[in-house]
Amino acid sequence: MNLRQTVFFLLFFVSGLQQSFAQIGQKGLEWIDRALEEEKIFQADSALKAQLKSIYQYGLIDSLPLYTSYIGRVETEKSGQKNGITKVQKFISDFLSQKHSPKLNKQIHREAAGFYEYIGELELAYHANQTAFDWGQKDAEITFKELGKIQNNMATLSLYLGNRVQAKVHVHKAISLYKKEPKLDAESLYLSYNALGNIHWYGARMDSAEYYFLEALKQFGDMSDTPRNKHYRPAMVLNNLAGVQSALGKTSAGIKSMEQTIDHLSDYIKAMSDVQEIAKGKEFQYQAIDNLAGMHKGLGNYSRAKDLLEYAFEQKKSSFGPESPEVFKSQILLGQLYYDIRENE
């Protein structure tokens, strides 16, 4: 290769690098993401600065909110979480001072909420969502569905912060907003009803928990026909419903719900080709079989409980290997059952 060719190659290489390094929008953000994942902090910082410079240079202000989380993440990696938070807050303050549209102000606070949640600052995430909701109400283009999602986010954060009462209020607000849409969104309603079921379960209000889990199950018929919506998500709800029904003394109903959980997971495993999803489905299914065994054990049906636990034990060994924590759990459950059988002979 002669000198001229070498220079051409270097120029071409640098040009290609800059194209992705400083590209505004999704591809540029993906570049920063990869650099952060690979702990190339200097490169991530340089790319962030280059992209922000281009945004201001070309007046692409609508893109700025997308960079909120990345500004925080890069600064956190450079100089700690406290400085990351401070930089995000200053970025937002500067942005708001420029009197942008409610839509952009809403977006920048939603992005900030994502950053705060990422670093575990849930109180800050909650308040950022609240501010996003306030701006959203001033946005003429926003949908009731999007406002409902913000309320659902606040409900989830409230639950993590230990405030079940506040979480419940937010979920009910979300449902009210979803119901204002011309066409109801079944997935949003499922998420809300399931959240209410969990909130009431944690609060030991089993009758209410059962009601909302049953409402969540009604939504799947109107959701997109995917293995996740058709089988995995119903299995999750039915698993929780079975526990609630068992606590209410509705053992037969609980057993039926748990059997349906297991059947759904069998169908999910058959429908999937991804190895990780199959393993996730199997682990959940074997845990459900353990739960079903526990219900039969509670009724004094030791023979059926023994068959189920031994089956799950063998399947876990076959699927995950003898050293799996799931195998260890089965050994404990079987040991407890064998002891109870001897005690009742």
Which domain CATH number covers 324? 1.25.40.10
How far is C-alpha 243 from the geometric centre of its chain's CA atoms? Answer: 22
Instruction: Say if residue 156 is in the same domain as residue 57.
Output: no
pLDDT on residue 4: 43
Residue 187 lies in a domain: no
pLDDT on residue 55: 82
Residue 175 lies in a domain: yes
Cα angle 164-167-171, degrees, rounded to a multiple of 5: 140
Rounded CA-CA distance 185/16 in Å is 43
Instruction: Say if residue 56 is in the same domain as residue 125.
Output: yes
CATH number, domain of 55, equals: 1.25.40
Residue 26 lies in a domain: yes
> HEC string of 266-296?
HHHHHHCCCHHHHHHHHHHHHHHHHHHHHHH
pLDDT on residue 136: 97
In sequence order, what are the residues at sequence separation of 6 or more whose Cβ sits closer than 8 angstroms to the Cβ of residue 71? Answer: 48, 87, 88, 91
**Structural domains counted in the chain:** 3
For residue 98, the enclosing domain spans: 20-136
How far is C-alpha 50 from the geometric centre of its chain's CA atoms? Answer: 32
Instruction: Say if residue 123 is in the same domain as residue 164.
Output: no
Residue 12 lies in a domain: no
For residue 26, the number of C-alpha atoms closer than 13 Å in the C-beta half-sphere is 0
Residue 189 lies in a domain: no
162: left (phi over 0), alpha (psi -120 to 50) or beta: left
Residue 5 lies in a domain: no
Q: What is the pLDDT of residues 176-219, one digit of tens each?
A: 999 999 988 999 999 999 999 999 998 889 999 999 999 999 99
Of the three residues 110, 136, 162, the one that is the final residue of a domain is 136
Instruction: Say if residue 162 is in the same domain as residue 114.
Output: no
Rounded CA-CA distance 189/129 in Å is 20
Residue 196 lies in a domain: no
Instruction: Say if residue 125 is in the same domain as residue 215.
Output: no
Rounded CA-CA distance 207/178 in Å is 24
Instruction: Say if residue 164 is in the same domain as residue 274.
Output: no
Instruction: Say if residue 33 is in the same domain as residue 113.
Output: yes
Instruction: Say if residue 345 is in the same domain as residue 212.
Output: yes
Instruction: Say if residue 128 is in the same domain as residue 157.
Output: no
Rounded CA-CA distance 268/86 in Å is 45
DSSP state of 183: S
SS3 150: helix
Instruction: Say if residue 167 is in the same domain as residue 68.
Output: no
Instruction: Say if residue 210 is in the same domain as residue 175.
Output: no
Instruction: Say if residue 170 is in the same domain as residue 231.
Output: no
The rounded radius of gyration (Å) of the Cα atoms in the chain is: 26
Rounded CA-CA distance 242/97 in Å is 53
pLDDT on residue 11: 38
Across the chain, which has 345 residues, the per-10-residue mean pLDDT values are: 42 42 69 85 86 84 89 92 95 93 96 95 97 96 94 94 93 95 92 93 91 96 94 96 94 95 96 94 95 93 93 93 92 88 73
pLDDT on residue 50: 86
pLDDT on residue 204: 86
> Of 221, 240, 222, whose CA–CA distance to 181 is shortest?
222
How far is C-alpha 241 from the geometric centre of its chain's CA atoms? Answer: 20
Identity of the amino acid at 303: S
Rounded CA-CA distance 14/25 in Å is 20
> Of 39, 38, 127, 45, whose CA–CA distance to 83 is shortest?
45
Residue 4 lies in a domain: no
